[in-house]
Every structure is written in structure tokens, then in C-alpha cells.
Amino acid sequence: MKDHYAIGLMSGTSADGIDAALVQITPNGSELSIGLEHATFEPYAAEERSRIFAAFAPDFPAQELARLNWHMAEWFARAVQRLLDEAGMSPKDVLVIGSHGQTIAHYPPQPQGAQGYGMQIGEPAMIAALTGIDVVSNFRTADMAAGGQGAPLIPYFDYALLKSDIETRVVLNIGGIANITVLPAGASPKDVVGFDTGPGNMILDGLVELVTDGRQHYDEEGALARAGRCHDQLLHRWLAHPYFFRTPPKSTGRELFGLSYCRALYDDAKREGLTPPDLLRTATALTAESIARGIRTQITEPFALIVSGGGINNPVLMDELKSRSHLMRPWQSATEYGIPSDFKEAMAFALLAWQFCRGVPTNVPRATGAARSVVQGSWTPARAGIQIDDRIAKIKERGK
């Protein structure tokens, strides 16, 4: 059964901790049966999170980045060990770890044709050495080398688990950045569209830290925003950001919507005399409206909305989104489809790593803009003498 288990690791743009998911994957003809065996969340200590946020700065020293790359691998390995201990399993029970790492820089291709580039840290060789499990990492670069954005990476997973023959579905993840996958009824892989709509929780978290002088890191259940009122004129001005008018494929991150952007919003609000609750309500409306606009560019018929990510826990944000998505049926959590909302992305990287071992392409060119389908990832063995070709042959044999 070893070849049916994979682990996915994810540290997102919010950088609050590591999601680790132990996933069972079983071939069933041309389809796959994918289920979550166990999952855990390993929060970063305050000092660890501070080091990650320091690394987002463009002038972060190379020596410190190299050190952080190795230390993050230790933190990822720590999460794997906790996951295995809780699940009552050992490294020999698992085929592969899929580690997304921590994105430090994401600069996608520009409309003028400039090559995209980026970096994820969390040294895979160290993860492999500490866990004794082979690692697939570096998922973005093959797509970027083929001219793509290298993101979003999740549409392949969304299609594999959430496609429908009878209804159009929009799969929304609200993490630090919000992204959607559009699955038309009866869609084939070439029909799938996906892109980042813009900021998700990132600007809400950043603004909370600014208005509370760092005492709070997020607006729990939207409490601050709920006490405020949206400033429509300011919202209209913020929605003029060029990113919201770009045609997909498109992706983004802290480079556009990070701390400097939050400070600009904060300064705008101060000039307009907004209270902190009014600022948070207006920023919540910005996230909701940018998501709704992204959906409206793709959908002209009623659709089912399936939501995951931390934003699902903010009822003010979800109410704002519902009021702005007129074609949307009542939204549902991904958990209702058997995909625990908080661990969906970690599950996805387990699947991407498992498919890498089978030599299966997992990018969605219409979502990323790549010129062709590619096998995504780089392989790092944990033990000498094990050849990936042997692994591929074994898994393919099991799948027959």
C-alpha cells in the first residue's frame, strides 16, 4: 500500500504555519480515488514567522535567505513527523512528499513578454534527509519555463475532484491571495480556466496589524469590519488597480498586494478620516468585489460556488461576496465535497507529487498561459540506489 500514500506540505502567502496532509490515492481505471487520511497544522513560532516576513523584502541578504531555506526545511520535516506520529504511520508507509515550500518571490511573465521568475524555499534535500521520504518540490518552474505564470497550481486538483457533468462550478480559495477555478458543466481539461482574482486575506491581515500596532494579526470572524461601514468612493478608487483589469492568465502575490500596498490603503483611509472598523469594512468589500468581478468575467449563467481557505471563516467577507455575486447559488464549503477546506492545497500537492512519480503533466495551460502541458516538480531522493524510473514503473503496474 506504500505507493498509495503521499504527503502534501503547504505554507501559504499568509505565512501563519504549515499545512500537512497525508493522502491516500488509488488508481481506478482512468480515474483516481483520493481521500484524506490525516492532516495537521503546524503554526510558526513568532520568531519563525518574523523571519519569513523579513525575507519578503527585496533587499533581504542572500546569506540570511540561504540559512532560512534550510531552517524552513527543518520546520517542514517537523510537520511531517507530527503528521506521521498522529496518523500512526512511518516514513516507509509513504511514497513521496509534495512540498510547495514558502513563496518568497513571484514575478509572473509581463504583458510585454518579459520572462517570469520566482522562488520557493524549504530545501527539499534537507526534508528528504530528515524524513527518509523522497520529495517532489519546485512545482512552478517547469510551467514558467514553458511561458506560463507558474500559478495557479490548484486547477488540476479542482478538476480531478470537483468537476460535474450537470452544473457549472466555480472553485474559490481565499488564502492570502484569492484564486478561482472555473469548471463548466461537462468540462474537459482544456475547458478549465483559473487565475488569481487579487488579494484575499492578505490585505485584511496586514491592515489589522497596522491599526492594532501588531497586537492582532487578523480580523477574527470579521468583528472589526462588521462594526464599520464601507466607504464607497474609496472602494471605487481602490478597484482602479491595474491588476483587476488584466485579462487571464494572471497571478499575483505579496509583490503587488503586500505590506507596502496595505500601508497605501491605510494612508488613504486616514486622509479620508475613516475609523479602523470603516477601513476594515471597505477593505473586506475590496476583496469581495475583486473576487466577484473575476467570476463575472467568466460566468454568464447560474453556478455553484465551492469555497476553501481561511476566508471562509470570515462571515462578513462571505456576506459581502454573496451580495455581489448575483448568479451564485448558495455557496458551499469544500468540506461538504469531502475536501477539508483548511487542507485542500496541501492535499493538492500530495496529488501533484504522486502524479509526478507517474510522469503525468499537471499544469493547466489555459489557466497558467504555458505553451504546453508539462510534468511539474523536481525529484529529490531520500535513499541512495532508488531510481525514479523504477517508481514510475511500479505505480503504473499497480494502476493497471
CB 84 within 8 A of CB 137: no
Distance CA 370, CA 364 (A): 8
For domain 2-151+343-399, the question of CATH label 3.30.420.40 is answered with yes
pLDDT in single tens digits along all 400 residues of the chain: 556 899 999 999 899 999 999 999 998 877 889 999 999 999 999 999 999 999 999 999 999 999 999 999 999 999 999 999 999 999 999 999 999 999 999 999 877 767 889 999 999 999 999 999 999 999 999 999 999 999 999 999 999 999 999 999 999 999 999 999 999 999 999 999 999 999 999 999 999 999 999 999 999 999 999 999 999 999 999 999 999 999 999 999 999 999 999 999 999 999 999 999 999 999 999 999 999 999 999 998 899 999 999 999 999 999 999 999 877 788 999 999 999 999 999 999 999 999 999 999 999 999 999 999 999 999 999 975 555 555 555 555 555 4
Classify 155-341 by CATH class. Answer: alpha beta
- Number of CB atoms found within 10 A of residue 384's CB: 5
CB 355 within 8 A of CB 23: no
Distance CA 224, CA 196 (A): 26
Per CATH, 2-151+343-399 and 155-341 having the same topology is answered yes
| Cell numbers 490525516: residue | 38
Q: How far is CA 318 from CA 307, 309, 337, in A?
A: 10, 12, 19
Domains of the chain, by residue range, sit at: 2-151+343-399, 155-341
pTM > 0.85: yes or no: yes
